[in-house]
Amino acid sequence: MVNVQPKNAKLADRARRIVAQAAGVTYDRAGELLAAAGDSARVAMSDGAKTGAARVEAGAEAAAAGGSISEGF
Protein backbone atom coordinates (compact mmCIF):
# COMPACT_ATOMS: atom_id res chain seq x y z
CA MET A 1 0.00 0.00 0.00
CA VAL A 2 2.99 2.36 -0.06
CA ASN A 3 2.05 3.26 -3.60
CA VAL A 4 -1.42 4.51 -2.61
CA GLN A 5 -2.35 7.57 -4.66
CA PRO A 6 -4.41 9.90 -2.43
CA LYS A 7 -6.75 11.07 -5.19
CA ASN A 8 -9.88 11.27 -3.04
CA ALA A 9 -10.73 11.76 0.64
CA LYS A 10 -10.84 8.03 1.44
CA LEU A 11 -7.42 7.34 -0.09
CA ALA A 12 -5.92 10.49 1.45
CA ASP A 13 -7.07 9.29 4.87
CA ARG A 14 -5.62 5.83 4.19
CA ALA A 15 -2.29 7.30 3.10
CA ARG A 16 -2.10 9.43 6.26
CA ARG A 17 -2.84 6.42 8.48
CA ILE A 18 -0.25 4.29 6.68
CA VAL A 19 2.43 7.00 6.98
CA ALA A 20 1.55 7.67 10.63
CA GLN A 21 1.90 4.01 11.55
CA ALA A 22 4.99 3.28 9.47
CA ALA A 23 6.90 6.43 10.46
CA GLY A 24 5.72 6.44 14.07
CA VAL A 25 4.24 9.94 13.88
CA THR A 26 0.87 11.47 14.60
CA TYR A 27 -1.92 11.57 12.03
CA ASP A 28 -1.47 15.34 11.67
CA ARG A 29 2.29 15.03 11.22
CA ALA A 30 1.70 12.32 8.61
CA GLY A 31 -0.40 14.81 6.65
CA GLU A 32 2.44 17.32 6.79
CA LEU A 33 4.94 14.70 5.64
CA LEU A 34 2.70 13.67 2.76
CA ALA A 35 2.29 17.28 1.66
CA ALA A 36 6.05 17.82 1.80
CA ALA A 37 6.57 14.59 -0.17
CA GLY A 38 4.22 15.61 -2.97
CA ASP A 39 1.60 13.12 -1.73
CA SER A 40 4.00 10.20 -2.15
CA ALA A 41 3.48 7.82 0.76
CA ARG A 42 6.70 6.00 -0.11
CA VAL A 43 8.76 9.19 0.17
CA ALA A 44 6.89 10.37 3.26
CA MET A 45 7.66 7.09 5.04
CA SER A 46 11.31 7.00 4.09
CA ASP A 47 14.04 7.65 6.60
CA GLY A 48 14.22 11.14 5.09
CA ALA A 49 10.76 11.88 6.47
CA LYS A 50 11.97 11.18 9.99
CA THR A 51 15.16 13.18 9.61
CA GLY A 52 13.60 16.07 7.73
CA ALA A 53 15.54 15.45 4.51
CA ALA A 54 14.31 17.19 1.40
CA ARG A 55 11.92 15.36 -0.93
CA VAL A 56 14.65 14.80 -3.51
CA GLU A 57 16.98 13.27 -0.91
CA ALA A 58 14.24 11.06 0.54
CA GLY A 59 13.26 9.88 -2.93
CA ALA A 60 16.89 9.08 -3.69
CA GLU A 61 17.15 7.08 -0.47
CA ALA A 62 14.07 5.05 -1.38
CA ALA A 63 15.46 4.41 -4.87
CA ALA A 64 18.85 3.39 -3.45
CA ALA A 65 17.10 0.85 -1.25
CA GLY A 66 15.52 -0.68 -4.33
CA GLY A 67 12.20 0.97 -3.51
CA SER A 68 12.06 -0.82 -0.17
CA ILE A 69 11.23 1.63 2.55
CA SER A 70 11.74 -1.00 5.24
CA GLU A 71 15.50 -0.70 4.70
CA GLY A 72 15.39 2.74 6.35
CA PHE A 73 13.60 1.63 9.51
48-70 pLDDT tens trace: 455 555 555 555 666 666 655 55
How would residue 24 be classed by pLDDT, with cut points 50, 70 and 90?
confident
User: At residue 25, does pLDDT exceed 80?
Assistant: yes
Domain spans of the chain?
9-72
The predicted structure's pLDDT at residue 49: 54
The predicted structure's pLDDT at residue 27: 94
The predicted structure's pLDDT at residue 53: 52
Instruction: Tell me how crowded residue 23 is: count the other CB atoms within 10 A of its CB.
Output: 21
The predicted structure's pLDDT at residue 13: 93
Phi and psi torsions of 53, nearest 5°: -65, 155
Amino acid at position 34, single letter: L
Query: Right CATH number for 9-72 from 1.10.10, 1.10.8, 3.30.300, 3.40.1000?
Result: 1.10.8
